[in-house]
Amino acid sequence: MPKLNDREGNVSLELNIIDNNFLDVQFSRQDYENWIPFEFVLNVGGERYAYIPDMGATFTVYEIKNLITKFEQIANSKIFKKSFDKFEFSSTERYFDLIIYDPLEDEEIYIEIWINMGTITNGKVSGYDKGFRFIVKLDSFIKFTNEIKEQLRQLMDF
CATH code of the domain containing 42: 2.30.31
Total number of domains in the chain: 1
User: Under DSSP, is residue 125 helix (H, G, I), strand (E, B) or coil?
Assistant: coil
pLDDT value at residue 9: 94
State residue 93 phi and psi, 5-degree precision: -90, 10
Amino acid at 98: L
Predicted TM-score (pTM) of this structure: 0.94
Give residue 158's pLDDT.
Answer: 59
What share of the chain has pLDDT > 70, as a percent? 99
Q: Which domain holds residue 91?
A: 3-156
Provide the mean pLDDT of the chain: 96
Q: Percentage of the chain surpassing pLDDT 90? A: 96
